[in-house]
Copies of this chain bind each other. A is one copy, B any other.
Amino acid sequence: DIVNTVDRLIGKAPDLKGRTILITAGPTREPLDPVRFISNHSSGKMGYALARQATLRGAQVVLISGPTNIEPPVGLYKFIPVETALEMEKAVLDNFNQAQVVIKAAAVADFRPKKYNLGKIKKQDGGMVIELVKNPDILQELGQKKQQQVLVGFAAETDEPEKNAVDKLKRKNLDFIVLNDITQEGAGFGSDTNIVKIIYRDGRIEVLPRMLKRDVADAILDRVLPYLN
């Protein structure tokens, strides 16, 4: 009916009422010293759009976010700001059990500097080498721990995107994965729009048109619904 349609259009059908959804967003920063860090171009827009739409649809949202310039949406259940992948891991694990849905939109650094310098590293002649060690793979840990949770991941790929996304979906035991082809204009980091494909465990690939990240968020939440009991 008309009320439901309008509610739907403005993203307010309370179809996620009573659900706790854990969403991660933004980049992480992996410090070299008090001044320098390694990071990535994630703006956090996709994750914040998911948090906002899920909140509007009645969910109890826990948003765990790396450093971004976005105000957290109004009405969040919990907002947990973090800097590093290790902080992100702890916050996610602390909040995993209570969640029915986990959507990992954060771009967590795969590596961190092996050594953190307490003082600022001085400029020196010639080159320099930074040793990196692998960060924990949070999504993979969740895939192993998962009980009733619906687990959704993102992939941002430049090479063989579909193949890499399918590998990630299986390896990490996800329910579905959202693939960003970051080589396309109007997709991925920093943009207000996104072009995504959704890939399912049975191999089905759904291609969505270019949409506002808000609408991509609703499309993802729509696809979570059938997994909820």
Contacts and interface: CB of A to CB of B under 8 A. Distances in A.
Contacts of A134: 123, 125-128
Interface string A118-161: 11101101111111111001000000000000000000111100
Contacts of A37: 38-41
Interface in A86-131: 107, 109-111, 114, 118-120, 122-123, 125-131
Contacts of A131: 127-129
A221 interface: no
Interface in A5-38: 32, 34-38
A69 interface: yes
A182 interface: yes
A176 interface: no
Interface in A30-80: 32, 34-41, 69
Contacts of A35: 40-41, 107, 156, 182, 189
Interface of A: 32, 34-41, 69, 107, 109-111, 114, 118-120, 122-123, 125-134, 137, 156-159, 182-183, 189
